[in-house]
Structure 1
Amino acid sequence: MQNFTKESLIQSLIEIRQKGWIPTGRKNNDGGVGNTLEDLLGIEENNLPIPNASEWELKAQKKNTTSLITLFHMEPSPRAFKFVPTILLPEFGWRHKEAGRKYSQNEQSFRQTINAKGYSNRGFTVKIDKLDKKVWIDFNYKNISDTHNSEWLEQVSNKKLEPKPYWGFDDLYHKAGTKLHNCFFVSAESKKINGTLHFKYQEIFMLKKFNLDKFVNAIEEGYIYIDFDARTGHNHGTKFRLRRDSLIKLYSDVKQY
């Protein structure tokens, strides 16, 4: 594996950009843009071989995608409750669309991508408490859309989410501060040429000094989403995610190449 300094990595990214349209060796999905970039750099997945590599992340995304960038995985507190598999899924989950086909008849699903700007159509939202320094999840059945299955509506009507799952600011600061302290972010256009997906890498950002206050403000302003993705047979993990153009807002020192 090639060793990089920050300067040589930037130069390698610029050289990749100068190549124009590059075919991917990966499947045609949103993750392919980052995987292809790692292949071109000759590095293992998100393993930057530069000094203090643990302080740097490499992220890439297609410019024309609406997909969210995953910042990190983190299950809510109190951890002993195992909120997602023991409370949210059995108490507030709904019948999985593949129940009785791919999965058993009793397979339940709990998939929600929510933020602090309002309640989802299943009645969930994100709340910020700066006094107690917590980000927590609230449920209000009155905000559920009447388009949902009547059996599920009856099941959750008048239910309260108690205790409420939450993340303490200190825990979020530790997770985000270590995972996202510094970051290289590259955007790319994409198109198919002769049936093969190609990427054209363009914007290159070096993002330094992850700002914890900006992070909390971004949650409060709805730029950051909390994504639950669980079914009876497997919890895919709870993720903190955001839109591509919001990533640079989380850093104090931004430089574009």
Structure 2
Amino acid sequence: MKSNREFIIEKFREVKALEFVKSNRKHNTGIGKTFEDYLGIVENNLDEPDLAGYEIKAHREESQSYVTMFTKSPNFPAKANAYLNSRFGIPYEDNPSLNKLHTSMFVSRFNTLNGKYSFKLINDRDAKLLKIGVYDINTKTLIDNTAGYTYECLERILNKKLKNLFYVSAEREYRGNDEYFHFNKAEIYSEPSLERFLNLIDEGLIMYDIRIGSYQSGKKYGKPHDHGSGFRILEPNLRLLFNQHETIE
């Protein structure tokens, strides 16, 4: 009986043998969607690994963009998304009675939002909390840091979602307006570390995105809608999260 490792390597080599295949979706997400389609993975937003205990991510060989490590709503306080969106969100242009809050931040620098607020992560190692800091845009006076993540929550999702990562590289070429991929190399990463994650946070290498909207129809009208708030890192730095690494040709 094949192990999970043997199974996923075999599946990768089957796709690799196809050489160039047409992208099943336009733009940045096309590469991941195409590879997962060939593996038979149904697209989802669950916090479970994609296949055989492995999280699957694919990238273009030349890419230097941010890749999502995992998505997770803040775990404190209760109803954190509703609180943040209500207090700091910006009204929709076409529905000003409802708010949205979309912003990206690091621990190492302030951002700006709507000419009023600056957001910055606060890594409180003593309290074992990663907080979302909201500051006055001019004075940089702290306004709020009551929402964020416990270290326990972060460690749990790291070891659940990213315990084993299968990271696939692809050459690409265009044929007319269509993009084609040759998935030609894979790397297996394992043993993610909370301490490594926190160090990458402190070094300003991990970006946190808040992506909260509001339902504008249906039974959930007006309630917060998390569109994928989570942690992202430049693709070449992803390996720094893990203790173990193996290259698959």
TM more than 0.5 = yes
| Matching residue of 1:133 | 128
| Matching residue of 1:58 | 56
1:256 Cα deviation after fit? 1.3
Check whether the contact 2:76–2:147 (CA below 8 A) recurs between aligned residues. Answer: yes
Question: Equivalents in 2 of 1:79, 1:164: separation in Å?
Answer: 7
| Matching residue of 2:219 | none
In proportion to residue count, which structure has more helix?
1
SS in 2 for 1:140: strand
Give deviations 1:146-177, integer Å, cap 9, x for gaps: xxxxxxxxxxx98821x521211111111111
Question: Equivalents in 2 of 1:74, 1:12: separation in Å?
Answer: 29
| Matching residue of 1:36 | 34
Give deviations 1:14-72, integer Å, cap 9, x for gaps: 45335432212x22032221221122233444641x4xx3xx21111233445422222
1:126 to 1:10, Cα distance in 2 relative to 1, 3 A: same
Question: Equivalents in 2 of 1:188, 1:34: separation in Å?
Answer: 10
Question: Equivalents in 2 of 1:223, 1:203: separation in Å?
Answer: 25
Amino acid at match of 1:74: K
1:186 Cα deviation after fit? 0.6
Task: Give runs of aligned pairs for residues 1-257 of structure 1, distance below 5 A.
Answer: 5-24=4-23, 26-45=24-43, 47-48=50-51, 50=52, 53=53, 56-65=54-63, 67-80=65-78, 82-86=79-83, 88-96=84-92, 99-100=93-94, 104-122=95-113, 123-143=118-138, 160-161=143-144, 164-233=146-215, 234-257=225-248
In proportion to residue count, which structure has more strand?
2
Question: Equivalents in 1 of 2:214, 2:141: separation in Å?
Answer: 23
Question: Equivalents in 2 of 1:202, 1:73: separation in Å?
Answer: 27
Unaligned runs of 5+ in 1: 145-156
Unaligned runs of 5+ in 2: 44-48, 216-224
Could you state the TM-score of these two structures normalised by the residue count of structure 1?
A: 0.78
Amino acid at match of 1:63: E
1:180 Cα deviation after fit? 0.7
Give deviations 1:99-129, integer Å, cap 9, x for gaps: 22xxx24343210111112011230001111
Check whether the contact 2:73–2:226 (CA below 8 A) recurs between aligned residues. Answer: no
1:28 to 1:6, Cα distance in 2 relative to 1, 3 A: same
Runs of 4+ aligned structure 1 residues displaced above 6 Å come to none
Question: Equivalents in 2 of 1:236, 1:107: separation in Å?
Answer: 15
SS in 1 for 2:15: helix
Check whether the contact 1:119–1:143 (CA below 8 A) recurs between aligned residues. Answer: no
1:213 to 1:225, Cα distance in 2 relative to 1, 3 A: same
1:43 to 1:237, Cα distance in 2 relative to 1, 3 A: closer
Amino acid at match of 1:244: E
Amino acid at match of 1:83: A
